[in-house]
């Protein structure tokens, strides 16, 4: 028994030595790792932005290893440095986007022949602020003919190296105006309007020339709320290639936008962003962090801060393809008049559904519920029918019938789920081109 006790004491002493050795080894390892981080940070300061991303990744990997082997170790002391490196990397990515995309962004100058109004004192008046009742309150006027003047501005971006440019329809809406494109190198080019989409606020114009820089088009269907975006455009029609940065604040927004001259249009499934978008930015690109165009800047909320909107680029791809292929821009139509159904309409009209649209005539005798000879008429849709779905997708307040049909092309065949006299059935409808 005495021998066994001595042997046990020897074993215990050896175990204590192993534990002490283990603690020394871990302490030494931690010291080596911390020294490595400090050295890496020092090299990051010396080499600057060029090595920032490498240092950041190296430091993060070391931090992960430390956390894996020593979960109780407090590393908050080095987190500010890692955060600073992350900021540098993100700023560098935005700078890369701007350098990549800016050469392809253009300013569009709108000019028009407007009357010169001169008073007896020899000064000119703003032709757009004349008193509608015939007087200006400052003296007599005489007609001095017309003069070409700049009346507005917008933005656009090259979608093909041979001069094709995408912009908003409202930028080039005036068929009596002339349009001049100013490229990033300051050169001016006369532009021709090739197509105006009558449904979406998109247009294609062209200038003569070749080898223009082109922006890459992304996929707006894959956007995520919170991701970084960059807007570039001719802010206020005066500051060309202005850059603003923000995030995607919302998706699939629907709103009615006004031009300031009484014109309104409905914008659907659009992108909301807090990147600053100002008058003149219209038609310019909204880019992701890889420099791909994911939107076309289109509107800004009046009376609000950092609330801008952009059309998803996927909405403009069809008109781009049609123009490049030399085909006519066509807009499909169904040929029904209707009211949208919600819970209140359902209750008032005692309908069996709280979604879809009720096919109904207008207030005039000539406002028929179904237009004679239209695709809907040919498919057998009748007044008081309820159209519930388009290709399996419910028609709701946020997913309206007109917007759903507009996503198709003339001659496309769609399937409508229709409630007709107490029974629900699927109806095949071949869309046709709208004539007006």
Strands of 317-360, DSSP E: 332-333, 338-340, 357-359
For the record, the structure tokens of 395 come out as 């028609």
Q: Is 170 a catalytic residue?
A: yes
From CA 41, how far away is CA 31, in angstroms rounded? 15
Q: In whole angstroms, what is the distance from residue 37 CA to residue 101 CA?
A: 36
Cα–Cα distance measured from residue 414 to residue 295, given in angstroms and rounded to the nearest whole number:
27
pLDDT classification of 256: cutoffs 50, 70, 90: low
Task: Give residue 36's pLDDT.
Answer: 60
Structure token pair of residue 328: 């006519």
Mean local confidence (pLDDT), 226-231: 93
pLDDT of 241 strictly over 50: yes
Residues 6+ apart with CB under 8 A from 379: 416, 427, 428, 429, 430
CATH of domain 220-324: 2.40.10.10
Quickly tell me which residue has 């992350």 as its tokens: 86
Single out the catalytic residue among 220, 282, 288, 374.
282
What is the arithmetic mean of pLDDT over 198-216? 91
Confidence of residue 75 (pLDDT cuts 50, 70, 90): very low
pLDDT tens digits along 372-431: 999 999 999 999 999 999 999 999 887 888 888 888 888 899 999 999 999 999 999 999
Average pLDDT over the chain reads 76
Mean pLDDT of 8-36: 53
**CA 243/CA 105 separation, integer angstroms:** 11
Q: pTM here?
A: 0.62
CATH topology of domain 332-433: Pdz3 Domain (2.30.42)
Q: What are the residue ranges spanned by the domains of the chain? A: 15-101, 103-126+140-206, 220-324, 332-433
Judged against a pLDDT cut of 50, whether residue 128 lies above it is answered with: no
Structure tokens at 140: 């007599």
Annotation: CATH topology of 103-126+140-206: Thrombin, subunit H (2.40.10)
Instruction: Please compute, for residue 129, the number of CA atoms within 13 A of its CA located in the half-sphere on the CB side.
Output: 6
342 catalytic, yes or no? no
Percent of the chain exceeding pLDDT 70 equals 67
- On the question of a common fold for 103-126+140-206 and 220-324, the answer reads yes
Residue-level pLDDT at 82: 57
Residue (of 77, 73, 79, 144) closest to 113 by Cα position:
144
**What's the whole-number mean pLDDT along residues 221-243?**
85
Active-site choice (41, 59, 102, 201): 201
313-316: long-range pairs with CB below 8 Å, 24+: 313/217, 313/218, 313/219, 313/220, 314/219, 314/220, 314/221, 315/200, 315/202, 315/220, 315/269, 316/166, 316/197, 316/200, 316/202
* Between 314 and 72, residue with greater pLDDT: 314
Task: Inform me whether the pLDDT recorded for 96 exceeds 80.
Answer: yes
Q: Which of 170, 244, 288, 374 is catalytic?
A: 170
Alpha carbon distance 140, 121 (integer Å): 9
Indicate if the pLDDT at residue 121 is higher than 50: no
Ranges 45-54, 205-214, 293-302, 309-318: which has the least confidence: 45-54
Q: What is the pLDDT of residues 280-314, one digit of tens each?
A: 788 999 999 999 999 999 877 766 667 889 999 99
Q: Which residue has the higher pLDDT, 363 or 45?
A: 363
Is residue 201 flagged as an active site residue? yes
Tokens representing 410 are 């003339």
């Amino acid at each position: 028994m005495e021998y066994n006790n001595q042997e046990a004491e020897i074993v215990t002493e050896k175990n204590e030595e192993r534990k002490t050795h283990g603690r020394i080894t871990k302490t030494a390892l931690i010291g080596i790792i911390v020294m490595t981080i400090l050295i890496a940070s020092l090299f990051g300061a010396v080499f600057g932005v060029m090595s920032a991303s490498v240092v950041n990744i190296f430091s993060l990997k070391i931090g992960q290893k430390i956390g894996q082997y020593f979960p109780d170790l407090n590393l908050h002391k080095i987190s500010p440095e890692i955060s600073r490196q992350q900021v540098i990397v993100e700023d560098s990515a935005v700078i890369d986007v701007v350098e990549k995309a800016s050469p392809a962004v253009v300013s569009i100058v709108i000019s028009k022949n407007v009357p010169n109004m001169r008073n007896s004192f020899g000064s000119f008046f703003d032709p757009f602020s004349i008193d509608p009742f015939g007087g200006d309150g400052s003296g007599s006027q005489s007609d001095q003919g017309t003069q070409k003047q700049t009346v507005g501005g917008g933005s656009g971006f090259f979608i093909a190296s041979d001069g094709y440019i995408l912009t908003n329809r409202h930028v080039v809406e005036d068929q009596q105006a002339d349009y001049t494109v100013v490229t990033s190198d300051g050169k001016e080019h006369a532009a021709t309007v090739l197509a105006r989409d009558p449904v979406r606020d998109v247009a294609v114009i062209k200038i003569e020339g070749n080898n223009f820089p082109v922006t890459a088009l992304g996929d707006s269907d894959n956007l995520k709320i919170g991701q970084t975006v960059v807007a570039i455009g001719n802010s206020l029609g005066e500051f060309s290639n202005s850059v603003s940065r923000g995030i995607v604040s919302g998706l699939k927004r629907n709103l009615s936008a006004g031009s300031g001259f009484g014109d309104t249009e409905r914008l659907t499934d659009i992108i909301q962003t807090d990147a600053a978008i100002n008058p003149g930015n219209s038609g310019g690109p909204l880019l992701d962090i890889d420099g791909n165009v994911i939107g076309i800047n289109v509107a800004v909320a009046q009376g609000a801060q950092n609330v801008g909107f952009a059309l998803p680029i996927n909405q403009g791809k069809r008109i781009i393809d049609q123009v490049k292929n030399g085909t006519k821009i066509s807009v499909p139509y169904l040929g029904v008049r209707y009211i949208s159904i919600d819970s209140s309409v359902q209750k008032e009209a005692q309908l069996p559904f709280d979604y879809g649209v009720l096919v109904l005539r207008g207030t005039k005798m000539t406002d028929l519920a179904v237009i004679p000879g239209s695709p809907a008429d040919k498919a057998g849709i009748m007044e008081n029918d309820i159209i519930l779905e388009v290709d399996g997708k419910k028609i709701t307040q946020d997913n309206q019938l007109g917007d759903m049909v507009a996503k198709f092309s003339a001659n496309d065949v769609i399937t409508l789920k229709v409630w007709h006299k107490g029974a629900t059935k699927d109806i095949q409808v071949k869309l046709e081109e709208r004539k007006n």
